[in-house]
């Protein structure tokens, strides 16, 4: 990560640029696919991938619904929807897929258009809990009675780079003011406030150890380097913290260690739209 604007989409959303999304998906693919499969998506369903990014989840979504299903991919960044359309043009998806530019807070679809809404790592960009609940109500509006609303969010309170000082990253997190990135474990309450029923939630730790695979190394090199850039420039941190982050501007000093360990937490929450 070369600077604070790296991996940022045209909409100013950090961590939502296509290349970054691909690197993260490949690194975490086994866990990501297990989380999506846990939602309970059925063959023949109509799916909305709300805040789809560059469409990393589309191949599995299309596989789950099969040829009789349909997926609509929605994202606010036009370049992400262009990436989706390129995936569709490649002809490798298992069902019809359409891409559309739009935001999640006011969905451009009629009521009861879908059997399920899947929203991955997008609610984090809404600054308030009220905004999140409003978006989830929109998801419920466009979902058929008895259908599902599913959200997956990262909780950076569970992130760890070991053997770094375990308090180093939490201090950076607090200094950056990233409160919207540590609230994912409250998703079930958001779904219930939005009027959904039969709500469940599950947290998955994505853990990686040395020696790293090439895919793991590619993502973690960017991740550690990005946090090091921010930490070394964050004036709210004590000097000893900024010095520690400066030392990580070359991520190899950490990733090459035989005792390196990384984990992050992703939280899936699913609710059902009440039957009519």
Model confidence pLDDT, tens digit, residues 121-134: 999 999 899 999 99
The reply to whether 258 falls in a domain is no
Taking 70 as the threshold, does the pLDDT of residue 7 lie above it? no
pLDDT tens digits, 85-103: 999 999 999 999 999 999 9
Residue 236 domain flag? no
Residues with Cβ < 8 Å from 148, sequence gap 6 or more? 39, 40, 41, 115, 116, 117, 270, 271, 272, 273
CA distances from residue 208 to 194, 211, 245, 263 in whole angstroms, order as listed: 35, 9, 21, 6
Cis check for the bond before 207: say yes or no (omega within 30 of 0).
no
- pLDDT band of residue 19 (cuts 50, 70, 90) is low
Asked if pLDDT for residue 20 goes beyond 90, the answer is no
What is the CATH classification number for the domain harbouring 149?
3.40.50.150
What total number of domains does the chain contain?
A: 1
pLDDT for the residue numbered 121: 94
Residue 148 lies in a domain: yes
In a domain, 230, yes or no: no
pLDDT score of 6 more than 50: no
Is there a contact between 101 and 10 (Cβ–Cβ < 8 Å)? no
- Taking residue 227's Cβ as centre, other Cβ atoms within 10 Å add up to 21
Q: Is residue 167 part of a domain?
A: no
Q: How many CB atoms lie within 10 A of CB 156?
A: 19
Each residue's pLDDT tens digit, 48-87 = 999 999 999 999 999 999 999 999 999 999 999 999 999 9
Strands annotated E in 90-196: 97-101, 114-120, 143-162
| 114 domain residue, yes or no | yes
Position 9 scores a pLDDT of: 40
Q: How confident is the model at residue 15 (pLDDT cuts 50, 70, 90)?
A: very low
Our CA angle for 108, 73, 179, nearest 5°, is: 85
Residue 112 lies in a domain: yes
Q: Enter the pTM of the model.
A: 0.91
What whole-number distance in Å separates Cα of residue 124 and Cα of residue 127?
7
pLDDT in tens, 144-197: 999 999 999 999 999 999 999 999 999 999 999 999 999 999 999 999 999 999
Residue 121 is assigned to a structural domain of this protein: yes
Domain span including residue 53: 18-156+177-207+265-272
């Amino acid at each position: 990560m070369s600077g604070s604007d790296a991996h940022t989409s045209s909409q100013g959303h950090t961590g939502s640029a296509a290349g970054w999304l691909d690197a993260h998906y490949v690194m975490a693919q086994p866990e990501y696919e297990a989380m999506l499969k846990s939602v309970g998506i059925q063959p023949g369903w109509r799916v909305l991938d709300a805040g789809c990014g560059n469409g990393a989840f589309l191949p599995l979504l299309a596989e789950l619904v099969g040829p009789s299903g349909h997926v609509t991919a929605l994202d606010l960044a036009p370049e992400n929807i262009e990436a989706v359309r390129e995936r569709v043009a490649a002809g490798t998806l298992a069902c019809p897929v359409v891409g559309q530019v739009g935001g999640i807070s006011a969905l451009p679809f009629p009521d009861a258009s879908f059997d399920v809404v899947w929203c991955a790592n997008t609610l984090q960009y809404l600054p308030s809990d009220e905004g999140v609940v409003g978006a989830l109500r929109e998801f419920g509006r466009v979902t058929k009675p008895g259908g599902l609303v599913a959200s997956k969010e990262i909780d950076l309170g569970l992130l760890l780079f070991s053997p770094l000082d375990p308090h180093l990253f939490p201090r950076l997190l607090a200094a950056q003011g990233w409160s919207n990135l540590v609230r994912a474990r409250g998703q079930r309450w958001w779904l219930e406030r939005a009027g959904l029923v039969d709500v469940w939630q599950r947290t998955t730790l994505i853990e990686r150890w040395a020696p790293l695979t090439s895919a793991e190394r590619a993502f973690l090199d960017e991740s550690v380097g990005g946090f090091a850039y921010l930490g070394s420039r964050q004036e709210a941190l004590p000097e000893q913290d900024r010095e520690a982050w400066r030392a990580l501007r070359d991520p190899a000093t950490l990733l090459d260690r035989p005792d390196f360990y990384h984990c992050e937490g992703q939280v899936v929450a699913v609710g059902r739209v009440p039957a009519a």
